[in-house]
Amino acid sequence: MILGLFYHVGLIYGINNDWRVYSEENNYLISVTSDFIHLFRMEAFYLISGFFFMLVYNKNRPLFLLDRVFRALVPLVFCGLIINHVMNYYSYNRTYNLNSYEYFIEGQWLGHLWFLGNLIVYFLVTTFLSRQILATRSLTRNMLLFLLLVITPVLSILGIFVSKITYSETLVFINFSNLFYYYSYFVVGCFCYRNKEVFLAILNMKTFLYSLSIFMLLFFTTHLEVITGMTLVKLINYLSVGSLTLAMMSLMYYIGNSSSKIIRDFSGSSYTIYILHQPLIVLFSVFLFEKIYLPGFIEYALLICLVFFVSHNFHIHLVNEHRILKLLFNGVLPSKKVQHANPESKT
């Protein structure tokens, strides 16, 4: 979730950007970095979300589904309609009629929170499949690798096809094209929890190098002269996402799999950081960084640090300390049973 900060700030300083705000200080390296993050970030997020969804489901907590839905719905409605309203007003590279019927019905108010609407649908649908998922037989290491590297991206491609022949637009709070595309990653995340020991065992540096090699092979294949046609290139690119997602998850698990106050703080505040990062990026860009003139890479680094510092401290000192803010920004219901839930289960 915190990678979203690096990605969206990068869109301001990237080449040929058309984001909400932009800078004349463009940097090619920043553009490449943002494009790379975009290749795997949401796929990894939904896979991890499915893993933790099944983890919490397996604990048989009372009001499980209500808790999951509130975690997504309350921040979606509150922040989408109020905080995003301010962000959209100052997004000079976007045209919004903030008082129009289309602004609400077509989901323009969602902004970067579209993923929460899709999560709500996933929670509702997958709850009815969870018992069957937990009852499936255990997978071997090679079977799980095949599921992650091949089956998941193939199913995501089928999701794209389904959205093309049904409905691919955004309606109120559901982005249907992304809804069909990402569900394979979410439900495979559920299967990863069912095979938790095997899944965690494969998240290592060997898998990182192996999966990254597969991604690079597929990536460079699309640049061969024998590969022609945009449809074939797109198919290969979608297939390569599974290997890159597994590679980056293996790397991050290797780095972050330790008992650390810093990692706990990052994990605990990541939801709030993601909720606030885009509005803060837009506001700091308009009111501060447009008035100073620094090299693009320096502005990029300063903006990331400033947004992270403000949103992280907002979570630590305000959201964590007040029940109403914890409800509005993290969807945590004001009851002891929910408040003591595993902080990793927020998504």
Q: Is the pLDDT of residue 338 over 60?
A: no
Sign of torsion, CA 92 276 104 86? negative
Which pLDDT belongs to residue 2? 84
Domain-located, residue 199: no
Q: Say yes or no: 245 and 287 in one domain.
A: no
Q: Which residue has the higher pLDDT, 340 or 233?
A: 233
Max Cα–Cα distance, the chain, nearest Å: 61
Percent of the chain with pLDDT over 70: 94
Query: Could you tell me the pLDDT band of residue 241, with boundaries at 50, 70 and 90?
Result: very high
Question: Which of 230, 256, 282 is the last residue before a domain boundary?
Answer: 256
**Would you say residue 292 has pLDDT above 50?**
yes
Q: Which residue has the tokens 């955004």?
A: 170
Whether 266 and 285 map to the same domain: the answer is yes
Tell me if 132 is assigned to some domain: yes
Average pLDDT, the chain: 88
pLDDT given for residue 232 in this prediction = 79
Residue 344 has pLDDT above 80, yes or no: no
| Average pLDDT, integer, range 193-197 | 94
Q: By percentage, how much of the chain surpasses pLDDT 90?
A: 58
Question: Given this model, what pLDDT does residue 230 score?
Answer: 60
Residues 82 and 223 in one domain: no
Collapsed DSSP state (helix, strand, coil) of residue 129: coil
Which pLDDT value is given to residue 168?
A: 85
Q: Give the integer Cα–Cα distance in Å for 220 and 215.
A: 9
Per-residue pLDDT tens for 70-120? 899 999 999 999 999 999 999 888 888 877 888 899 888 998 999 999 999
Q: Are 152 and 185 in contact (CB under 8 A)?
A: yes
Going by C-alpha positions, the residue among 16, 31, 40 that lies closest to residue 244 is 40
The answer to whether residue 83 is domain-embedded is: yes
- 214 & 188 share domain: no
Among 177-191, 205-219, 286-300, where is mean pLDDT lowest?
Answer: 286-300
pLDDT of residue 299 exceeding 60: yes
My answer on whether 264 and 248 are in the same domain is no
